[in-house]
Amino acid sequence: MDQKLEITEICLLNSLPNDTALKIASSLQVAGVCKLSSSSRFWRVICGSDCIWKALYRKRWPAEIGSDHKDSSVHESQSRQANQQLEPSVEEWRKIYRYKHEEMATKAASIINYVEENVWPPDSIELNFINEAAGYMDWEKFGIIDVELLFLRAGVSVLVNSVGLFYCWLYDVMPETEESLLDALEISGISERQVWAKWWVYNQAEGIPREKLVSLKDLAASYRGGKVVDIMRRSVVKGENEITVIVSAVNLSPYPGFAKLQTC
């Protein structure tokens, strides 16, 4: 019975009017569009439409398309295309999107390699290297979707994830809502990953280092006023040279030179 219902639902979806199908596809992110495209020939044609990929491109890289391209033009394009017989097109905007994505992925790989080259045992990196990596990201104009797809993913280390979040805080590259960033971490399966943040304020308590264990989810949720984020910002933005910050994937307390760490 359930299988019959599933088949019926698929048939109904495949018989939707073109304009309705286009609206559904245009409401999805890239991963959703690709997944829907693989479900049937009908959706493969819909999801390969130029208007869909132009809208996806514009959402991810808005500065790449002139201001004369308003949202209304996308809807008008969808309506015009819906009134025509949809056939597999040359998919120009899909090709353009893929080329741009590969370009940003190559740039991201270079930055990730820089981060990994400056990680010292055991799995730690100083904030100044994170700051430099974020500066490269700003130079290359990484948008929030670029960060989510290329840096906030399970296929890279938690230190690289931290670089992505730090870039978002420092250069105010944030989604419309905090929940969107938390959702991105959850979807990628990295929200519960944890890092140790250690810092020294040399004009306090004889420079005794302090530390705090925090998850990526908590970092993302507290970027406007969390203790760790505040320390990192003070060290970089305000130029407080008396603060040294290290981000680590492991607890450094048992290692030589870190025996006096105090949990904050």
Residue 149 is assigned to a structural domain of this protein: yes
Which residue among 89, 120, 143 closes a domain? 89
Least confident of 31-40, 72-81, 246-255: 72-81
246 lies in the same domain as 220: yes
Query: For position 84, what pLDDT does the model report?
Result: 46
171 lies in the same domain as 257: yes
CATH code, domain carrying 78: 1.20.1280
* C-alpha neighbours within 13 Å on the C-beta side of residue 153: 13
Average pLDDT estimate for 139-156:
96
Residues forming a β-bridge with 244: 200
Query: How many residues are there in the chain?
Result: 264
180 lies in the same domain as 213: yes
What residue has token string 């994505």?
101
116 lies in the same domain as 67: no
Average pLDDT estimate for 119-136:
91
Residue 171 reports pLDDT greater than 80: yes
Residue 251 is assigned to a structural domain of this protein: yes
Least confident of 86-100, 144-158, 159-173: 86-100
171 lies in the same domain as 65: no
CB distance 252 to 262 below 8 Å? no
164 lies in the same domain as 227: yes
Which residue among 56, 89, 122 closes a domain? 89
34 lies in the same domain as 152: no
CB distance 145 to 176 below 8 Å? no
Which residue among 65, 89, 113 closes a domain? 89
Least confident of 26-35, 52-61, 180-189, 228-237: 228-237
Residue 244 is assigned to a structural domain of this protein: yes
Distances (CA, A) of 65 to 43, 53, 56, 196, 216: 26, 13, 12, 40, 33
Q: Where are the alpha helices (DSSP H) in the chain?
A: 2-14, 18-26, 30-37, 41-47, 50-60, 71-82, 92-117, 127-139, 144-150, 158-170, 178-188, 216-221, 227-236
Residue 94 is assigned to a structural domain of this protein: no
Average pLDDT estimate for 196-202:
81
104 lies in the same domain as 56: no
Omega prior to 122 cis, within 30 of 0: yes
Query: For position 72, what pLDDT does the model report?
Result: 43
Query: For position 257, what pLDDT does the model report?
Result: 52
CB distance 146 to 60 below 8 Å? yes
Residue 42, classified by CB atoms within 10 Å of its CB into exposed (0-12), middle (13-18) or buried (19+), is middle
DSSP 119: -
Residue 185 is assigned to a structural domain of this protein: yes
246 lies in the same domain as 133: yes
166 lies in the same domain as 141: yes
145 lies in the same domain as 252: yes
Q: What is the pLDDT of residues 4-15, one digit of tens each?
A: 434 344 445 666
Residue 115 is assigned to a structural domain of this protein: yes
User: Which of 59, 144, 149 has its CA nearest to residue 112?
Assistant: 149
Whole-angstrom Cα Rg for the chain: 23
Q: What is the pLDDT of residues 63-80, one digit of tens each?
A: 887 644 444 444 445 445
Query: For position 13, what pLDDT does the model report?
Result: 60
Residue 162 is assigned to a structural domain of this protein: yes
Q: State the residue range of the domain holding 75.
A: 2-89
Omega prior to 175 cis, within 30 of 0: no
Distances (CA, A) of 192 to 155, 228, 233: 15, 16, 23
When the pLDDT of each residue in the chain is averaged and rounded to a whole number, the result is 79
82 lies in the same domain as 107: no
Residue 112 reports pLDDT greater than 90: yes
User: Rounded to the nearest 10 degrees, how much is the dihedral formed by the CA atoms of 60, 66, 67, 71?
Assistant: -50
Residue 214 reports pLDDT greater than 70: yes
Query: For position 239, what pLDDT does the model report?
Result: 59
Q: How many folded domains does the chain comprise?
A: 2
